[in-house]
Every structure is written in C-alpha cells, then in structure tokens.
Amino acid sequence: EGQIFEINRLVLSSMCRELQADTIDLGIVEDNVEEISNRIMLGLEKADLIITTGGTSVGAPDLVPAAIKKLENPSIIVHGIAMRPAMPTALAIVRNKSIIVLSGNPVAAMFGFEVFARPIILKLQGLDKEPRPIVTARLTRKISTALGRKTFVRVKVFQRGDEFFAEPISSRGSGVISTMVRANGYVIVPENREGLQEGEIVKVHLFDTFEAGGLNCSENS
C-alpha cells in the first residue's frame, strides 16, 4: 500500500521484443551513484545497448547521468531534450555503446524509447527503414502545444469511408498510462508551432502494423 507499481521494465522489454531484440533485466538499483555505475558496467559487458529508466529529471537529483560520468571515458551527448513528453531523456556513449537514459514516468519512457532507442535498435539490425506505417489523417479537433518543444500527441485513428481521421487524446500527462492504451498512434507537432487546427491534415505514426491492416492503409502512405 502506498507504493508505485513499476511497469517500465515490462513495457520497455516488450518494445524491444517487438523489434526481435533480446533483453537482459539488470534489476532495480537503489539511489546510489556507485551502485548505478556498477550496474551499467555489468550491462555494457553483456549487451549492445543500455536502457535505463528513472534517475533523470528536469532538475536535481540526476543520479544516472552522474553515474555515467564516473565511468571510463564517458561521453554524455545530451541531457534534456526540447520534446514533450520525455524532456529529461539523456543520451551517452561508453565503450562505443549507446546508453539511453529514460524518464521514470511511463509515457515519457515510452516516447523516449520510440524516438531514440527504437531507431538505434533498427540500425543495429541493419534496417534503415522504419517498418511501421504512417497514415495521413484529418484532425477531429484542435491541439494546443507550447512553442519551443517538439510535442508528441497521442491520437486514435479511425476510418470513415475512404478518409482517415485522428482524434487527439493527450499531449500531456507523462505518467497517465491510459492515454497510451487508448491511442493507436501519435502526431508530431513541430517546436515552431503553437498547436494544430481542427480539420488540419496530419501524418500519424501508427504504433503497430496490425492497426494498419485494420485501417486498410498501405505502408508509409
């Protein structure tokens, strides 16, 4: 009672397996920089890519980036990205292997994986093209976003006649898992836009190919 259910390992492992990538669960580490460094080193010995979740935020404490800095010849490329959700994401390279530091908030972790981990895994498999489809759809209502951040808006795509429509679900709520359950794709609002208008034609990145089949859409249409 009073504790938080930890689902990120289950979700992120499933997102890896969707790409036919094997996962090694290194477990939960206490809030100790030395212990986190040791666990990351263990992962570097066993895996091609390291993904962590939690221990990074928009402010202190940022234990995982601090732990990475203690490793041999670390290279933190970025810590904090102008996107929503997943702004606290950090990217690093150690021993020529990528380390992706994701937020502990479930939705932020999923989108951090979607934007950074997924393309890297595809690249490691020798795939240059995203296999999931993109459909063109008409927004059913206005989306409001803030300038200066690329915003990933969860949507529900449905077909009416020969046309696809995208119903916005949420651009906020990095911990509200139900918004991901209700969505079957997402729309990217550029950082130089204050949202999108009702009726605007947008590109929707679908979450899987099964949805695409149900919508009778062709790949990357």
Summarize pLDDT for 77-92 with one digit per residue, the tens. Answer: 999 999 999 999 999 9
Phi and psi dihedrals of 102, rounded to 5? Answer: -100, 155
- 206 and 184 Cβ atoms separated by less than 8 Å: yes
> Quick one: DSSP state of residue 115?
I
Greater confidence, 211 or 198?
198
Q: Where are the alpha helices (DSSP H) in the chain?
A: 8-18, 33-46, 63-69, 106-112, 118-124, 178-182, 209-214
pTM: 0.89
Summarize pLDDT for 104-133 with one digit per residue, the tens. Answer: 999 999 999 999 999 999 999 998 888 899
